[in-house]
Each structure stands twice: as structure tokens, then as C-alpha cells.
Amino acid sequence: MRLNEIKKGGRFRVKNLNCCNDCVSRLMSMGLLPDQEIRLMHEAPLGDPIAVEFNGCHISVRLEDAGHVEVEPIGE
């Protein structure tokens, strides 16, 4: 499952970042790393960008960039 496919409110764990572009480098520099817990907090009215929370930070991510982040659900 990719970050651009998750639903609001769920808890997920980052499995992999699947691209070597500048966007992924920026996300990693902000702490979005494999095994990091992440939550979708908000979607823009047209669905792009999305706001995610991890490490106590909220950031906006374009759907195109979120498609490079592989995640898995965390059981409650």
C-alpha cells in the first residue's frame, strides 16, 4: 500500500521509500524513514496535497510524492 492510498485517521508504518529523487530526500531529511509511524491528518478539498503527522510534526505532501512511500497498517 502506498501513502497516497491510505485513509484519514489510520495508523501506518513506513516500509520503504521507493525513489531516489529530491522529494524522497527531503522527506527523509524531515524524519520520514522506514519503520516510522505515520498518520494521514487531512486531505485538501481536491485531494492534493495531503497532510501527514509523524514524529510530532505535520507536513504537506503532494500525492505524486506520496506514491513513492510504501506503508503498512499498524494493528490497534
The per-residue pLDDT for range 29-48, each reduced to its tens digit, is 888 889 999 999 999 998 89
Residue from 29, 17, 74, 73 nearest 55 by CA? 29
The three grid cell numbers given for residue 17, joined into one nine-digit string = 521509500
Give the span between the Cα atoms of 55 and 57, in whole angstroms: 5
Whether 55 has a pLDDT exceeding 90, the answer reads no
What sign does the dihedral 7-17-66-68 (CA atoms) show?
negative
- pTM of this prediction? 0.83
The CATH-assigned architecture of domain 3-73 is Roll (2.30)
The residue whose grid cell reads 509511524 is 37
